[in-house]
Amino acid sequence: MPLPSPASSGLRPIGKLAAATGVKVPTIRFYEEIGLLPPPPRTASDRRMYDDAAERRLSFIRHARQLGFDLDSIRSLLDLSDHPDRPCAEASTLAERHLADVKQKIARLRALQRELSRMTTECAGGRVSACKVIEALHDPSAPL
């Protein structure tokens, strides 16, 4: 049975959903393929049509991705969101695990920053044969 007209039903096509959420159309289709977004109803001409719930869910996914959560964690967080009576300990655990990962990445980036600063500070700008940047890159035991 065909859907009612989009204007009267609050439904919108994928392009309008993309514009409303800032998520590209191919990404929306990908999220559907992997089950993060449920398959939407379609019109008689086979156009995907999305409601407000799909927009809220997609906005949730987008925000979680902006915070760096991986797709498996987002799947778990969506499942928790779909069951609001469950305790939030699992969500907290996922966020704490992600925070620990972020702290590790920051520590690695700070070490990288120190090493790059050292390399560029020691570079005298002369010939490549005496270049500290090139020398440091040739030395795999150089600190990071």
pLDDT at position 126 is 74
Residue 74: count other Cβ atoms within 10 Å of its Cβ: 20
Does the structural domain 1-86 have CATH classification 1.10.1660.10? Answer: yes
**Max CA pair span of the chain:** 76
> How far is the C-alpha of 40 from the C-alpha of 105, rounded, in Å?
37
**What residues does each domain of the chain span?**
1-86, 89-144
> pLDDT tens digit string along 66-97?
999 999 999 999 999 999 999 999 999 999 99
pLDDT for res 8:
45
pLDDT band at 120 (very low <50, low <70, confident <90, very high): confident
Q: Can you tell me the distance from the alpha carbon of 37 to that of 25, in angstroms, rounded to the nearest whole number?
A: 13
Q: How far apart are CA 108 and CA 27, in angstroms?
A: 30
| Predicted confidence (pLDDT) per residue in 22-39, tens digit | 999 999 999 999 999 999
Helix, strand and coil in the chain, % to nearest 5: 65, 5, 35
Counting residues of the chain whose pLDDT is more than 90, the rounded percentage is 71
